[in-house]
Structure 1
Amino acid sequence: MTRPATLPDAVVGALRCPLCAAPFARDGRSLRCPSRHSFDLAKQGYVNLLHAGVPAGTADTAEMVAARVAFLDGGHYAGLRDRLAEVTASETGGEGLVVDAGAGTGYYLAGVLERLPGAAGLALDVSAVALRRAAKAHPRLGAAVWNLWEPWPVADGSAAVVLNVFAPRNGPEFRRVLRPGGSLLVVSPERGHLAELASVAPVLEVDARKEERLDAALSDHFELVSRETLRERVVWKPDDIRHAVRMGPTGHHPDRLTALTDVTEPAEVTIAFSLSRYRRTT
Protein backbone atom coordinates (compact mmCIF):
# COMPACT_ATOMS: atom_id res chain seq x y z
CA MET A 1 0.00 0.00 0.00
CA THR A 2 1.41 3.40 -1.00
CA ARG A 3 1.99 5.73 1.95
CA PRO A 4 0.37 9.16 1.64
CA ALA A 5 2.72 12.02 0.85
CA THR A 6 3.81 14.11 3.80
CA LEU A 7 6.09 16.99 4.79
CA PRO A 8 9.82 16.44 5.36
CA ASP A 9 10.98 17.03 8.94
CA ALA A 10 13.14 19.99 7.88
CA VAL A 11 10.09 21.69 6.38
CA VAL A 12 7.95 21.10 9.47
CA GLY A 13 10.77 22.58 11.53
CA ALA A 14 10.85 25.73 9.40
CA LEU A 15 7.10 26.35 9.22
CA ARG A 16 5.36 28.58 11.74
CA CYS A 17 1.71 28.88 12.73
CA PRO A 18 0.15 31.69 10.64
CA LEU A 19 -2.11 32.63 13.56
CA CYS A 20 0.44 32.95 16.39
CA ALA A 21 3.88 32.40 14.78
CA ALA A 22 4.70 29.47 17.08
CA PRO A 23 6.53 26.34 15.84
CA PHE A 24 4.57 23.32 14.71
CA ALA A 25 4.69 19.71 15.82
CA ARG A 26 3.23 16.77 13.96
CA ASP A 27 0.00 15.33 15.26
CA GLY A 28 -0.85 12.48 12.96
CA ARG A 29 -1.74 14.02 9.60
CA SER A 30 -1.93 17.50 11.10
CA LEU A 31 0.40 20.29 12.16
CA ARG A 32 -0.40 21.67 15.61
CA CYS A 33 1.18 24.58 17.50
CA PRO A 34 1.34 24.98 21.33
CA SER A 35 -1.79 27.17 21.15
CA ARG A 36 -3.54 24.16 19.56
CA HIS A 37 -4.09 25.82 16.20
CA SER A 38 -4.24 22.87 13.84
CA PHE A 39 -3.84 22.49 10.06
CA ASP A 40 -4.51 19.21 8.30
CA LEU A 41 -2.34 17.81 5.54
CA ALA A 42 -4.19 17.10 2.32
CA LYS A 43 -4.00 13.56 1.03
CA GLN A 44 -1.58 14.77 -1.67
CA GLY A 45 0.83 15.86 1.09
CA TYR A 46 0.64 19.65 1.09
CA VAL A 47 -0.73 21.83 3.90
CA ASN A 48 -3.00 24.82 3.43
CA LEU A 49 -2.04 27.51 5.96
CA LEU A 50 -4.19 30.28 4.50
CA HIS A 51 -6.79 31.70 6.87
CA ALA A 52 -8.26 34.12 4.32
CA GLY A 53 -9.27 34.01 0.69
CA VAL A 54 -7.29 35.41 -2.22
CA PRO A 55 -8.56 37.68 -5.00
CA ALA A 56 -10.05 36.01 -8.04
CA GLY A 57 -7.54 35.54 -10.84
CA THR A 58 -4.59 35.21 -8.45
CA ALA A 59 -4.12 31.46 -8.12
CA ASP A 60 -3.41 29.24 -11.12
CA THR A 61 -6.47 27.29 -12.23
CA ALA A 62 -6.63 23.57 -12.92
CA GLU A 63 -6.49 24.31 -16.67
CA MET A 64 -3.40 26.50 -16.26
CA VAL A 65 -1.67 23.88 -14.13
CA ALA A 66 -2.45 21.13 -16.65
CA ALA A 67 -0.97 23.27 -19.43
CA ARG A 68 2.14 23.96 -17.34
CA VAL A 69 2.67 20.28 -16.56
CA ALA A 70 2.35 19.33 -20.23
CA PHE A 71 4.71 22.12 -21.30
CA LEU A 72 7.41 21.53 -18.69
CA ASP A 73 7.26 17.77 -19.16
CA GLY A 74 8.31 18.49 -22.74
CA GLY A 75 11.65 19.75 -21.46
CA HIS A 76 11.29 23.21 -22.98
CA TYR A 77 12.67 24.99 -19.90
CA ALA A 78 14.99 22.20 -18.78
CA GLY A 79 18.05 24.32 -19.54
CA LEU A 80 16.82 27.02 -17.17
CA ARG A 81 16.08 24.46 -14.46
CA ASP A 82 19.53 22.89 -14.81
CA ARG A 83 21.31 26.25 -14.62
CA LEU A 84 19.25 27.26 -11.60
CA ALA A 85 20.24 23.99 -9.92
CA GLU A 86 23.93 24.60 -10.68
CA VAL A 87 23.88 28.08 -9.19
CA THR A 88 21.93 26.96 -6.13
CA ALA A 89 24.36 24.12 -5.50
CA SER A 90 27.27 26.54 -5.61
CA GLU A 91 25.52 28.77 -3.06
CA THR A 92 24.65 26.09 -0.51
CA GLY A 93 27.25 23.36 -0.73
CA GLY A 94 24.40 20.90 -1.14
CA GLU A 95 22.74 21.42 2.25
CA GLY A 96 20.16 23.57 4.02
CA LEU A 97 16.60 24.58 3.26
CA VAL A 98 15.66 25.98 -0.13
CA VAL A 99 12.43 28.00 -0.18
CA ASP A 100 10.77 28.43 -3.57
CA ALA A 101 8.49 31.48 -3.41
CA GLY A 102 5.82 30.94 -6.06
CA ALA A 103 6.84 27.34 -6.73
CA GLY A 104 3.82 26.30 -8.79
CA THR A 105 4.08 22.60 -9.58
CA GLY A 106 7.55 22.34 -8.02
CA TYR A 107 9.33 21.78 -11.33
CA TYR A 108 12.30 24.04 -10.59
CA LEU A 109 12.59 23.19 -6.90
CA ALA A 110 12.59 19.46 -7.63
CA GLY A 111 15.37 19.98 -10.17
CA VAL A 112 17.38 21.94 -7.60
CA LEU A 113 16.95 19.23 -4.95
CA GLU A 114 18.30 16.63 -7.36
CA ARG A 115 21.61 18.53 -7.25
CA LEU A 116 21.55 19.09 -3.47
CA PRO A 117 21.56 15.67 -1.75
CA GLY A 118 21.58 17.12 1.76
CA ALA A 119 18.95 19.82 1.22
CA ALA A 120 15.19 20.03 1.75
CA GLY A 121 12.78 22.24 -0.15
CA LEU A 122 9.72 24.27 0.83
CA ALA A 123 7.34 25.18 -1.98
CA LEU A 124 5.10 28.18 -1.27
CA ASP A 125 2.30 29.06 -3.66
CA VAL A 126 -1.23 30.41 -3.51
CA SER A 127 -2.56 27.68 -5.83
CA ALA A 128 -3.56 24.48 -4.04
CA VAL A 129 -4.08 22.90 -7.45
CA ALA A 130 -0.44 23.50 -8.34
CA LEU A 131 0.84 22.31 -4.96
CA ARG A 132 -0.91 18.98 -5.32
CA ARG A 133 1.73 18.36 -7.97
CA ALA A 134 4.57 20.03 -6.09
CA ALA A 135 4.06 17.91 -2.97
CA LYS A 136 4.85 14.80 -5.01
CA ALA A 137 7.60 16.29 -7.18
CA HIS A 138 10.46 15.20 -4.90
CA PRO A 139 10.69 13.20 -1.64
CA ARG A 140 12.58 16.03 0.12
CA LEU A 141 10.07 18.68 -0.94
CA GLY A 142 7.23 19.96 1.25
CA ALA A 143 4.48 22.29 0.04
CA ALA A 144 2.36 24.91 1.78
CA VAL A 145 -0.42 27.08 0.36
CA TRP A 146 0.27 30.72 1.15
CA ASN A 147 -0.22 34.22 -0.27
CA LEU A 148 3.30 35.57 -0.89
CA TRP A 149 2.20 39.16 -0.31
CA GLU A 150 1.44 38.35 3.33
CA PRO A 151 4.08 37.73 6.04
CA TRP A 152 5.20 34.16 5.46
CA PRO A 153 4.61 31.31 7.95
CA VAL A 154 8.34 30.53 7.89
CA ALA A 155 10.92 30.93 10.65
CA ASP A 156 13.44 33.77 10.63
CA GLY A 157 16.80 32.84 9.11
CA SER A 158 15.71 29.31 8.22
CA ALA A 159 16.57 29.28 4.51
CA ALA A 160 19.94 28.93 2.83
CA VAL A 161 18.50 30.03 -0.52
CA VAL A 162 15.24 31.56 -1.70
CA LEU A 163 14.17 30.93 -5.29
CA ASN A 164 11.80 33.27 -7.11
CA VAL A 165 10.97 32.10 -10.62
CA PHE A 166 8.40 34.20 -12.54
CA ALA A 167 6.61 34.93 -9.27
CA PRO A 168 5.65 37.84 -6.98
CA ARG A 169 8.55 39.40 -5.06
CA ASN A 170 8.32 40.24 -1.39
CA GLY A 171 11.71 41.73 -0.52
CA PRO A 172 11.23 42.04 3.25
CA GLU A 173 10.10 38.42 3.55
CA PHE A 174 12.91 37.19 1.28
CA ARG A 175 15.39 38.79 3.65
CA ARG A 176 13.68 37.73 6.87
CA VAL A 177 13.60 34.01 6.09
CA LEU A 178 17.16 33.89 4.70
CA ARG A 179 20.02 33.12 7.04
CA PRO A 180 22.87 35.67 7.24
CA GLY A 181 24.78 35.54 3.98
CA GLY A 182 21.94 33.64 2.31
CA SER A 183 21.21 34.02 -1.38
CA LEU A 184 18.15 35.06 -3.37
CA LEU A 185 17.93 33.77 -6.94
CA VAL A 186 15.43 35.60 -9.14
CA VAL A 187 14.43 34.44 -12.62
CA SER A 188 12.47 36.82 -14.82
CA PRO A 189 11.74 37.13 -18.54
CA GLU A 190 14.09 39.15 -20.74
CA ARG A 191 13.00 41.47 -23.53
CA GLY A 192 11.82 39.47 -26.52
CA HIS A 193 10.72 36.44 -24.51
CA LEU A 194 7.94 34.71 -26.50
CA ALA A 195 7.55 37.85 -28.60
CA GLU A 196 6.67 35.80 -31.67
CA LEU A 197 3.47 34.63 -29.95
CA ALA A 198 1.97 38.12 -29.83
CA SER A 199 -0.01 37.36 -32.98
CA VAL A 200 -2.00 34.59 -31.26
CA ALA A 201 -2.30 35.84 -27.67
CA PRO A 202 -1.55 38.88 -25.52
CA VAL A 203 2.12 38.64 -24.55
CA LEU A 204 3.47 40.73 -21.71
CA GLU A 205 6.05 43.15 -23.04
CA VAL A 206 9.10 43.27 -20.80
CA ASP A 207 10.03 46.72 -19.53
CA ALA A 208 13.39 47.92 -20.87
CA ARG A 209 14.22 49.09 -17.34
CA LYS A 210 13.08 45.84 -15.71
CA GLU A 211 16.45 44.96 -14.18
CA GLU A 212 16.96 48.49 -12.90
CA ARG A 213 13.56 48.40 -11.23
CA LEU A 214 14.20 44.94 -9.80
CA ASP A 215 17.49 46.01 -8.24
CA ALA A 216 15.90 49.15 -6.81
CA ALA A 217 13.01 47.18 -5.30
CA LEU A 218 15.40 44.83 -3.50
CA SER A 219 18.13 47.34 -2.62
CA ASP A 220 16.99 47.84 0.98
CA HIS A 221 17.55 44.18 1.72
CA PHE A 222 19.97 42.74 -0.87
CA GLU A 223 23.01 43.49 -2.97
CA LEU A 224 23.33 42.21 -6.53
CA VAL A 225 26.12 39.65 -6.89
CA SER A 226 25.75 38.55 -10.51
CA ARG A 227 23.36 38.42 -13.41
CA GLU A 228 23.30 36.26 -16.50
CA THR A 229 21.06 35.92 -19.53
CA LEU A 230 19.84 32.64 -20.99
CA ARG A 231 18.53 33.10 -24.52
CA GLU A 232 17.87 30.78 -27.43
CA ARG A 233 15.69 30.31 -30.48
CA VAL A 234 13.65 27.14 -30.50
CA VAL A 235 11.03 25.53 -32.69
CA TRP A 236 7.82 24.62 -30.93
CA LYS A 237 4.98 22.43 -32.12
CA PRO A 238 1.43 23.85 -32.08
CA ASP A 239 0.62 22.09 -28.80
CA ASP A 240 3.77 23.53 -27.21
CA ILE A 241 2.65 27.02 -28.17
CA ARG A 242 -0.85 26.49 -26.83
CA HIS A 243 0.47 25.15 -23.53
CA ALA A 244 2.97 28.02 -23.18
CA VAL A 245 0.21 30.61 -23.58
CA ARG A 246 -2.37 28.83 -21.43
CA MET A 247 -0.03 28.29 -18.50
CA GLY A 248 0.77 32.00 -18.14
CA PRO A 249 -1.28 35.02 -17.00
CA THR A 250 -3.37 34.88 -20.17
CA GLY A 251 -4.77 31.60 -18.88
CA HIS A 252 -6.93 33.62 -16.49
CA HIS A 253 -8.72 35.10 -19.53
CA PRO A 254 -10.08 32.28 -21.73
CA ASP A 255 -11.72 34.84 -24.02
CA ARG A 256 -8.24 35.91 -25.14
CA LEU A 257 -7.23 32.41 -26.22
CA THR A 258 -9.48 31.99 -29.23
CA ALA A 259 -6.68 32.67 -31.74
CA LEU A 260 -4.82 29.61 -30.49
CA THR A 261 -7.11 27.45 -32.61
CA ASP A 262 -5.46 28.99 -35.67
CA VAL A 263 -2.03 27.66 -34.65
CA THR A 264 -1.54 24.59 -36.83
CA GLU A 265 2.15 24.71 -37.79
CA PRO A 266 5.42 24.68 -35.81
CA ALA A 267 6.94 28.09 -35.17
CA GLU A 268 10.31 29.50 -34.18
CA VAL A 269 10.14 31.18 -30.77
CA THR A 270 12.57 33.18 -28.65
CA ILE A 271 12.96 32.16 -25.02
CA ALA A 272 14.95 34.57 -22.89
CA PHE A 273 15.48 34.74 -19.14
CA SER A 274 17.65 36.63 -16.70
CA LEU A 275 18.99 34.88 -13.61
CA SER A 276 19.95 37.38 -10.90
CA ARG A 277 21.84 36.37 -7.77
CA TYR A 278 21.50 38.57 -4.69
CA ARG A 279 23.16 38.34 -1.30
CA ARG A 280 21.30 39.20 1.88
CA THR A 281 22.73 42.32 3.50
CA THR A 282 23.60 41.99 7.17
Structure 2
Amino acid sequence: MTSAGTGNDPLPRRVVDALRCSVCGSPVELSGRTLRCANRHSFDLARQGYVNLLHARVSAGTADTAPMVAARSAFLESGAYQPLADEVARAASGATGLVIDAGAGPGYYLARVLDVCPSAAGLALDVSAVALRRAARAHARLGAVVWNLWEPWPVADGVASVVLDVFSPRNAAEFHRVLAPGGALVVAAPLPGHLAELGDLVLSVADRKEERLETTLGGRFARLSRTDVVHTAPFTARQVHDVVAMGPAGFHLDREDRRSRLETAEGRDVTLAVGVSVWQKLG
Protein backbone atom coordinates (compact mmCIF):
# COMPACT_ATOMS: atom_id res chain seq x y z
CA MET A 1 0.00 0.00 0.00
CA THR A 2 1.51 3.30 -1.09
CA SER A 3 2.38 5.68 1.73
CA ALA A 4 1.18 9.08 0.60
CA GLY A 5 2.83 12.25 1.82
CA THR A 6 1.05 15.47 2.63
CA GLY A 7 2.51 17.31 -0.33
CA ASN A 8 3.62 20.08 2.04
CA ASP A 9 6.62 18.36 3.62
CA PRO A 10 10.18 19.41 2.68
CA LEU A 11 12.06 17.33 0.12
CA PRO A 12 13.56 14.13 1.58
CA ARG A 13 17.11 14.67 2.85
CA ARG A 14 18.64 12.18 0.43
CA VAL A 15 16.98 13.92 -2.49
CA VAL A 16 18.33 17.32 -1.41
CA ASP A 17 21.81 15.85 -0.99
CA ALA A 18 21.69 14.46 -4.55
CA LEU A 19 20.47 17.66 -6.21
CA ARG A 20 22.70 20.33 -7.71
CA CYS A 21 21.98 23.95 -8.55
CA SER A 22 20.78 24.09 -12.15
CA VAL A 23 22.53 27.44 -12.64
CA CYS A 24 26.05 26.79 -11.35
CA GLY A 25 26.16 23.09 -10.45
CA SER A 26 26.86 23.65 -6.75
CA PRO A 27 25.33 21.56 -3.96
CA VAL A 28 22.08 22.91 -2.54
CA GLU A 29 20.54 23.11 0.90
CA LEU A 30 16.89 23.28 1.86
CA SER A 31 16.02 26.27 4.04
CA GLY A 32 12.35 26.28 4.90
CA ARG A 33 10.71 25.78 1.52
CA THR A 34 13.58 27.13 -0.60
CA LEU A 35 16.56 25.36 -2.15
CA ARG A 36 19.71 27.52 -2.10
CA CYS A 37 23.29 27.07 -3.21
CA ALA A 38 26.44 28.83 -1.94
CA ASN A 39 26.26 31.21 -4.92
CA ARG A 40 22.84 32.46 -3.75
CA HIS A 41 20.79 30.90 -6.51
CA SER A 42 17.44 29.89 -5.04
CA PHE A 43 14.41 27.82 -6.03
CA ASP A 44 11.14 27.86 -4.11
CA LEU A 45 9.11 24.72 -3.55
CA ALA A 46 5.64 24.93 -5.03
CA ARG A 47 2.67 24.68 -2.70
CA GLN A 48 2.14 21.07 -3.84
CA GLY A 49 5.69 20.10 -2.79
CA TYR A 50 7.66 19.88 -6.04
CA VAL A 51 10.46 22.25 -7.13
CA ASN A 52 11.02 23.61 -10.63
CA LEU A 53 14.71 23.90 -11.58
CA LEU A 54 14.09 24.83 -15.22
CA HIS A 55 14.98 28.29 -16.52
CA ALA A 56 12.89 28.40 -19.69
CA ARG A 57 9.52 27.34 -20.98
CA VAL A 58 9.32 23.95 -22.65
CA SER A 59 8.15 23.60 -26.23
CA ALA A 60 4.48 22.85 -26.86
CA GLY A 61 3.83 19.14 -27.16
CA THR A 62 6.69 18.26 -24.79
CA ALA A 63 5.17 18.30 -21.31
CA ASP A 64 2.02 16.34 -20.49
CA THR A 65 -0.97 18.65 -20.21
CA ALA A 66 -3.50 18.75 -17.37
CA PRO A 67 -6.05 16.60 -19.29
CA MET A 68 -3.33 14.06 -20.15
CA VAL A 69 -2.18 13.87 -16.54
CA ALA A 70 -5.75 13.50 -15.30
CA ALA A 71 -6.33 10.67 -17.78
CA ARG A 72 -3.06 8.96 -16.79
CA SER A 73 -3.79 9.17 -13.09
CA ALA A 74 -7.32 7.82 -13.49
CA PHE A 75 -6.11 4.98 -15.71
CA LEU A 76 -3.26 3.94 -13.44
CA GLU A 77 -5.46 4.12 -10.36
CA SER A 78 -7.90 1.76 -12.07
CA GLY A 79 -5.28 -1.00 -11.75
CA ALA A 80 -5.09 -1.76 -15.46
CA TYR A 81 -1.28 -1.58 -15.44
CA GLN A 82 -0.81 -3.25 -12.05
CA PRO A 83 1.02 -6.26 -13.60
CA LEU A 84 3.55 -3.85 -15.13
CA ALA A 85 3.96 -1.88 -11.90
CA ASP A 86 4.55 -5.13 -10.00
CA GLU A 87 7.27 -6.22 -12.45
CA VAL A 88 9.01 -2.83 -12.36
CA ALA A 89 8.99 -3.00 -8.55
CA ARG A 90 10.35 -6.55 -8.61
CA ALA A 91 13.15 -5.53 -10.98
CA ALA A 92 14.15 -2.64 -8.70
CA SER A 93 13.52 -4.42 -5.41
CA GLY A 94 17.17 -4.45 -4.32
CA ALA A 95 17.40 -0.66 -4.13
CA THR A 96 18.66 0.68 -0.81
CA GLY A 97 19.72 4.21 -1.74
CA LEU A 98 18.28 6.75 -4.14
CA VAL A 99 15.93 5.67 -6.93
CA ILE A 100 15.55 8.19 -9.76
CA ASP A 101 12.52 7.90 -12.04
CA ALA A 102 13.25 9.60 -15.37
CA GLY A 103 9.92 10.76 -16.75
CA ALA A 104 8.05 9.87 -13.57
CA GLY A 105 4.71 11.47 -14.47
CA PRO A 106 2.40 11.28 -11.43
CA GLY A 107 4.86 9.01 -9.60
CA TYR A 108 2.88 5.77 -9.87
CA TYR A 109 5.77 3.41 -10.64
CA LEU A 110 8.27 5.12 -8.34
CA ALA A 111 5.84 4.94 -5.42
CA ARG A 112 5.39 1.20 -6.05
CA VAL A 113 9.18 0.72 -6.00
CA LEU A 114 9.49 2.66 -2.74
CA ASP A 115 6.77 0.48 -1.22
CA VAL A 116 8.98 -2.61 -1.69
CA CYS A 117 12.26 -0.81 -0.87
CA PRO A 118 11.74 0.57 2.66
CA SER A 119 15.26 1.97 2.98
CA ALA A 120 15.23 3.82 -0.38
CA ALA A 121 14.24 7.38 -1.28
CA GLY A 122 12.91 8.49 -4.63
CA LEU A 123 13.56 11.40 -7.00
CA ALA A 124 10.86 11.97 -9.63
CA LEU A 125 12.10 13.91 -12.67
CA ASP A 126 9.65 15.11 -15.30
CA VAL A 127 9.22 18.11 -17.57
CA SER A 128 5.53 18.39 -16.66
CA ALA A 129 4.88 20.45 -13.54
CA VAL A 130 1.25 19.35 -13.73
CA ALA A 131 2.31 15.71 -13.39
CA LEU A 132 4.70 16.45 -10.54
CA ARG A 133 1.97 18.10 -8.50
CA ARG A 134 0.65 14.56 -8.12
CA ALA A 135 4.06 12.87 -7.87
CA ALA A 136 5.06 15.06 -4.93
CA ARG A 137 2.13 13.57 -3.00
CA ALA A 138 2.57 9.98 -4.19
CA HIS A 139 4.90 8.80 -1.41
CA ALA A 140 6.40 10.19 1.79
CA ARG A 141 9.95 9.29 0.68
CA LEU A 142 9.66 10.89 -2.75
CA GLY A 143 10.85 14.29 -3.96
CA ALA A 144 9.71 15.77 -7.28
CA VAL A 145 11.75 18.05 -9.57
CA VAL A 146 10.74 19.63 -12.87
CA TRP A 147 13.46 19.11 -15.45
CA ASN A 148 13.99 18.44 -19.15
CA LEU A 149 15.45 14.93 -19.38
CA TRP A 150 17.40 15.75 -22.54
CA GLU A 151 19.42 18.40 -20.71
CA PRO A 152 22.24 17.54 -18.24
CA TRP A 153 20.41 16.69 -15.03
CA PRO A 154 20.78 18.83 -11.87
CA VAL A 155 21.92 15.72 -10.02
CA ALA A 156 25.34 14.78 -8.63
CA ASP A 157 27.48 12.01 -10.11
CA GLY A 158 27.03 8.44 -8.89
CA VAL A 159 24.26 9.07 -6.37
CA ALA A 160 21.58 6.63 -7.56
CA SER A 161 21.39 2.92 -6.91
CA VAL A 162 18.59 2.52 -9.48
CA VAL A 163 17.26 4.58 -12.36
CA LEU A 164 13.78 3.84 -13.73
CA ASP A 165 12.68 4.60 -17.26
CA VAL A 166 9.06 3.61 -17.95
CA PHE A 167 7.81 4.66 -21.41
CA SER A 168 10.10 7.71 -21.21
CA PRO A 169 12.96 9.38 -23.12
CA ARG A 170 16.31 7.63 -22.67
CA ASN A 171 19.27 9.89 -21.98
CA ALA A 172 21.86 7.12 -21.70
CA ALA A 173 24.73 9.48 -20.85
CA GLU A 174 22.85 10.91 -17.86
CA PHE A 175 21.62 7.48 -16.75
CA HIS A 176 25.24 6.35 -16.65
CA ARG A 177 26.55 9.48 -14.93
CA VAL A 178 24.09 9.55 -12.03
CA LEU A 179 24.20 5.82 -11.27
CA ALA A 180 26.62 4.54 -8.65
CA PRO A 181 29.16 1.89 -9.74
CA GLY A 182 27.25 -1.32 -10.36
CA GLY A 183 23.94 0.56 -10.30
CA ALA A 184 20.95 -0.76 -12.21
CA LEU A 185 18.81 0.78 -14.92
CA VAL A 186 15.27 -0.59 -15.21
CA VAL A 187 13.62 0.11 -18.58
CA ALA A 188 10.01 -0.62 -19.51
CA ALA A 189 9.29 -0.34 -23.23
CA PRO A 190 6.27 -1.39 -25.31
CA LEU A 191 6.48 -4.55 -27.39
CA PRO A 192 4.75 -5.23 -30.73
CA GLY A 193 1.10 -5.90 -29.97
CA HIS A 194 0.90 -3.43 -27.10
CA LEU A 195 -2.62 -1.92 -27.12
CA ALA A 196 -3.07 -3.41 -30.59
CA GLU A 197 -6.85 -3.70 -30.20
CA LEU A 198 -7.09 0.10 -30.10
CA GLY A 199 -5.84 0.41 -33.67
CA ASP A 200 -4.92 3.89 -34.85
CA LEU A 201 -6.39 5.53 -31.75
CA VAL A 202 -2.90 5.10 -30.29
CA LEU A 203 0.49 5.66 -31.88
CA SER A 204 1.96 2.35 -33.02
CA VAL A 205 5.13 0.83 -31.58
CA ALA A 206 8.08 1.74 -33.79
CA ASP A 207 9.69 -0.99 -35.83
CA ARG A 208 12.98 -2.40 -34.54
CA LYS A 209 12.39 -0.77 -31.15
CA GLU A 210 14.35 -3.50 -29.37
CA GLU A 211 17.31 -2.96 -31.68
CA ARG A 212 17.15 0.77 -31.02
CA LEU A 213 17.18 0.13 -27.27
CA GLU A 214 20.39 -1.90 -27.63
CA THR A 215 21.93 0.86 -29.73
CA THR A 216 20.99 3.57 -27.23
CA LEU A 217 22.25 1.79 -24.11
CA GLY A 218 25.01 -0.44 -25.47
CA GLY A 219 28.54 0.60 -24.54
CA ARG A 220 27.40 2.18 -21.29
CA PHE A 221 25.21 -0.67 -20.00
CA ALA A 222 25.02 -4.45 -20.18
CA ARG A 223 21.62 -6.10 -20.13
CA LEU A 224 21.20 -8.56 -17.27
CA SER A 225 17.63 -9.70 -17.90
CA ARG A 226 14.33 -9.05 -19.64
CA THR A 227 10.85 -10.06 -18.57
CA ASP A 228 7.92 -9.63 -20.93
CA VAL A 229 4.67 -8.57 -19.28
CA VAL A 230 1.94 -9.73 -21.67
CA HIS A 231 -1.58 -9.63 -20.33
CA THR A 232 -5.00 -9.26 -21.98
CA ALA A 233 -7.82 -7.84 -19.88
CA PRO A 234 -11.22 -6.23 -20.40
CA PHE A 235 -11.06 -2.44 -20.53
CA THR A 236 -14.09 -0.34 -19.77
CA ALA A 237 -15.02 2.48 -22.15
CA ARG A 238 -13.48 4.89 -19.64
CA GLN A 239 -10.20 2.96 -19.55
CA VAL A 240 -10.09 2.94 -23.36
CA HIS A 241 -10.53 6.71 -23.34
CA ASP A 242 -7.91 7.31 -20.66
CA VAL A 243 -5.20 5.04 -22.07
CA VAL A 244 -5.44 6.88 -25.39
CA ALA A 245 -5.70 10.37 -23.88
CA MET A 246 -2.76 9.86 -21.51
CA GLY A 247 -0.17 8.89 -24.13
CA PRO A 248 1.47 10.59 -27.12
CA ALA A 249 -1.86 10.47 -28.96
CA GLY A 250 -3.16 12.82 -26.27
CA PHE A 251 -1.36 15.65 -28.08
CA HIS A 252 -3.24 14.77 -31.28
CA LEU A 253 -6.83 14.11 -30.27
CA ASP A 254 -8.11 16.57 -32.86
CA ARG A 255 -6.40 14.66 -35.69
CA GLU A 256 -7.90 11.73 -37.56
CA ASP A 257 -11.19 12.17 -35.73
CA ARG A 258 -9.73 10.66 -32.55
CA ARG A 259 -11.67 12.82 -30.12
CA SER A 260 -15.10 11.98 -31.51
CA ARG A 261 -14.22 8.31 -31.83
CA LEU A 262 -13.08 8.24 -28.22
CA GLU A 263 -16.34 9.79 -27.06
CA THR A 264 -18.24 6.85 -28.54
CA ALA A 265 -15.65 4.14 -27.81
CA GLU A 266 -16.90 0.96 -26.20
CA GLY A 267 -15.14 -1.34 -23.77
CA ARG A 268 -13.12 -4.21 -25.21
CA ASP A 269 -10.34 -6.68 -24.41
CA VAL A 270 -6.96 -4.94 -24.68
CA THR A 271 -3.44 -6.38 -24.60
CA LEU A 272 -0.68 -5.04 -22.39
CA ALA A 273 2.68 -6.05 -23.90
CA VAL A 274 5.74 -4.46 -22.31
CA GLY A 275 9.32 -5.63 -21.93
CA VAL A 276 10.95 -4.83 -18.57
CA SER A 277 14.71 -5.07 -18.81
CA VAL A 278 17.44 -4.60 -16.21
CA TRP A 279 20.77 -3.12 -17.28
CA GLN A 280 23.98 -2.81 -15.26
CA LYS A 281 26.19 0.23 -15.48
CA LEU A 282 29.56 -0.45 -17.10
CA GLY A 283 32.80 1.29 -16.21
Residues 3 and 135 from structure 1, CA distance in 2 versus in 1: closer, same or farther, beyond 3 angstroms?
A: closer
Report the Cα offset of residue 276 of structure 1.
1.1
Tell me how far apart the structure 2 counterparts of residues 47 and 207 of structure 1 sit (CA, whole Å): 34
Question: What is the TM-score normalised by the length of structure 1?
Answer: 0.95
| 1:54-90 residue CA offsets vs partner (Å, 9 max, x unmatched) | 1111000000000011101100111111111111113
Unaligned runs of 5+ in 2: 1-5
Tell me how far apart the structure 2 counterparts of residues 56 and 3 of structure 1 sit (CA, whole Å): 27
Q: What is the aligned counterpart of 2:264 among 256, 262, 265?
A: 262
Which residue is equivalent to 2:67?
63
Question: What is the TM-score normalised by the length of structure 2?
Answer: 0.95
Equivalent pair of 1:98/1:159 in contact (CA under 8 Å) = yes
Comparing 181-190 with 254-263, which one deviates more in the overlay?
254-263
Confirm or deny that 1:75 pairs with 2:79: yes
| 1:27-58 residue CA offsets vs partner (Å, 9 max, x unmatched) | 21100000000000001110000012211110
Tell me how far apart the structure 1 counterparts of residues 226 and 7 of structure 2 sit (CA, whole Å): 42
DSSP-derived class of the 1:188 partner: strand
Trace 1:1-282 onto structure 2 (pairs within 5 A).
4-90=8-94, 92=95, 95-198=96-199, 201=201, 203-256=202-255, 257-263=259-265, 265-282=266-283
Structure 1 runs (4+) deviating above 6 angstroms are none
Report the Cα offset of residue 220 of structure 1.
2.3
Report the Cα offset of residue 136 of structure 1.
0.4
Give the aligned residue type for 2:15.
V
| 1:174-206 residue CA offsets vs partner (Å, 9 max, x unmatched) | 00000000000000111011111115x2x2222
CA RMSD of aligned residues (A): 1.2
Equivalent pair of 2:17/2:27 in contact (CA under 8 Å) = yes
Comparing 50-59 with 2-11, which one deviates more in the overlay?
2-11
Tell me how far apart the structure 1 counterparts of residues 218 and 26 of structure 2 sit (CA, whole Å): 30
Tell me how far apart the structure 2 counterparts of residues 145 and 177 of structure 1 sit (CA, whole Å): 17
Give the aligned residue type for 1:180.
P
Equivalent pair of 1:229/1:275 in contact (CA under 8 Å) = yes
Count of equivalent residues: 275
Give the aligned residue type for 1:135.
A
Equivalent pair of 1:5/1:136 in contact (CA under 8 Å) = no
Equivalent pair of 2:7/2:137 in contact (CA under 8 Å) = no
Comparing 80-89 with 203-212, which one deviates more in the overlay?
203-212
Report the Cα offset of residue 170 of structure 1.
0.1
Report the Cα offset of residue 213 of structure 1.
1.2
Unaligned runs of 5+ in 1: none
Tell me how far apart the structure 2 counterparts of residues 141 and 67 of structure 1 sit (CA, whole Å): 22
Equivalent pair of 1:5/1:44 in contact (CA under 8 Å) = no
